[in-house]
Chain A
Amino acid sequence: MIVAERKPFEVIKKSVEGYRHLLVVGCGTCVAVCMAGGEKEVGILASELRIAARINGAEVDVRELTLERVCEKEFVALLEEQIYLVDAVLCLACGIGVQLVAEMFPTVPVYPAVNTKFLGVPDEQGVWSERCAACGDCVLDKTGGICPIARCSKSLLNGPCGGSMNGRCEIDPEVPCGWQLIYDRLKALGKLAQLEEFIPPKDWSTARDGGPRKIVREDMRL
């Protein structure tokens, strides 16, 4: 899932300074699961904004609305009933959601209330970590199901490097060495010989280096 983290309140408050009618939009999918921008977080942010406004003697009307998914047009279209009643939208969805709202309602200012961090998993309640870098050309078949792009700090394809110490990465002893994880997994699978195969340099044009990406499935188009 997409993992996000709410921006500091001061930053959010400053971004919507001067607006009297606000709509706080949440997303019920990824950001709800990572507790950054679901219905509950929408309620908390809206309440904080109301309290701060009253303390500052400002009159601000804060509406709340959480959509099932802010990354799909069919759901974002549901904003139409309320969006033209406000001066600005504060969006707690990921960067995709913020952009789609702005794209579909170009005359309404939309501000992000979270920082979109990475594609990852919840390790435990309250802890999330990165798993996928969306490089566009998956190599997990070669590395025992552990991504060297996302989990090796240097994104090495033929690791580990000399900075791997006791299974930890030299950038931070808290960070497991991605290539140690790959070694351990392949060993458990009885496929250590796979490490003898050289992985050739990656074609990064499938990743961000190739510019904005797009997929067209003619068979699926209406």
Chain B
Amino acid sequence: MMAGHNEFNPRIVAFVCFQSACRAADLAADMGISYPDVECIRVPCSGKVDILYILKAFENGADGVMVVGCQEGNCKDISGNVRARKRVEYARRLLEEVGLERERLKMYHLAANRGVEWAEVVTEMFTTVKLLGPSAVRKQGEGVRT
């Protein structure tokens, strides 16, 4: 690993479903489990996450974006998490088109009682992005909102 990457602290934005991932994150905090810092944006359902939200996060300087919804077959809105997964797949293709690595965006499925798993997926995303290095958008350092 390059020395510069060791100092790099990825900025991760997580769109979290209020019904599941959000509660899993709260549970992890209550259990005193430590995990890397992520910027959580609470959504009523992962199906609310639009491709534009994801692109805006990258445009504004995110190094990685994760969308965390309910487990498949367990969405309170029936199929919001499945729709979110399809959108994430589409958005990954868009990222490649504009010159960003598709691995910077990932969808996870998590139940509300999975505090430990929440910490694991955040750590996984953090590690992946740390290895990739800062987003090419951020490297230019211009016009990026903080």
Which of A's residues lie within 8 Å of B, judged by CB?
A: 8-10, 40, 43-44, 47-48, 50-52, 54-57, 59
Contacts A47-B56, A48-B94 known; list 9 others, CB within 8 Å.
A44-B94, A47-B52, A48-B55, A48-B97, A48-B98, A51-B100, A54-B136, A54-B142, A59-B142
Write the nearest CB–CB distance from B80 to chain A, whole angstroms.
Answer: 14
- Per-residue A-contact encoding for B115-139, CB less than 8 Å = 1, 0 else: 0000000000000000000001100
Tell me if B26 counts as interface (CB < 8 A to partner A): no
- CB within 8 Å for A55 and B52 given contacts A9-B94, A44-B94, A50-B59: no
- CB <8 Å contact, A8 and B97: yes
Q: Name B55's contact: one of A47, A54, A56, A59 (CB within 8 Å).
A: A47
Interchain CB contact under 8 A, B94 and A54:
no
For the complex, count residues of B whose C-beta is within 8 A of A: 18
Q: Which residue of B lies closest to A52 (CB)?
A: B98
Q: Are B98 and A51 in contact (CB under 8 A)?
A: yes
- Docked-complex contact A55 and B140, CB < 8 angstroms: yes
Is B73 part of the binding interface, using a Cβ–Cβ cutoff of 8 Å? no
A-contact 0/1 string along B91-123, CB 8 Å cutoff = 000100111100000000000000000000000
Q: Name B residues whose Cβ lies closer than 8 Å to a Cβ of A.
A: 50-52, 55-56, 58-59, 94, 97-100, 136-137, 140, 142-144
Q: List 11 contacting pairs A-B, 8 Å CB cutoff, sorted by A.
A: A8-B97, A9-B94, A47-B52, A47-B56, A47-B59, A50-B59, A51-B55, A54-B143, A55-B136, A57-B140, A59-B142
Q: Which residues of chain A come closer than 8 Å to B51, judged between CB atoms?
A: 44
- Report the minimal beta-carbon distance from A50 to chain B, rounded to whole angstroms: 6
Q: Are A44 and B98 in contact (CB under 8 A)?
A: no
How far is the CB of B71 from the nearest CB of chain A, in Å?
23
Complex Cα gap A181–B26 (Å): 57
Q: Is the CB of A52 within 8 A of B55?
A: no
Residues of A within 8 A of B55 (CB): 44, 47-48, 51
Most B CB atoms within 10 A — which of A43, A50, A54, A57?
A54
Q: Considering the chains assembled together, what is the distance between the CA atoms of A9 and B98 in angstroms?
A: 8
Contact B140 A51, beta carbon cutoff 8 Å = no
Contact of B58 among A43, A51, A57 (CB under 8 A): A51
Knowing A47-B55, A48-B55, A50-B59, the reply to whether A55 touches B98 (Cβ < 8 A) is yes
Judge whether A51 and B52 touch: CB under 8 Å: no
**Chain A residue contacts of B98, Cβ below 8 A:** 9, 48, 51-52, 55
5 smallest A-B Cβ distances: which pairs?
A47-B55, A9-B97, A55-B136, A52-B98, A55-B99
Give CA–CA (A44, B51) in the complex, Å: 7
**Nearest A residue (CB) for B95:** A51
| In contact, A52 and B99 (Cβ under 8 angstroms) | yes
Question: In the assembly, what is the distance between CA of A55 and CA of B95, in Å?
Answer: 12
Q: How far is the CA of A43 from the CA of B53 in the complex (A)?
A: 10
Q: How far is the CA of A86 from the CA of B140 in the complex (A)?
A: 24
Interfacial chain A residues near B140, Cβ < 8 Å: 54-55, 57
Greatest chain B CB density within 10 A among A40, A51, A57 is at A51
When distances are taken between beta carbons in the complex, the residues of chain B under 8 Å from A8 are 97
Q: Are B97's CB and A44's CB within 8 A? A: no
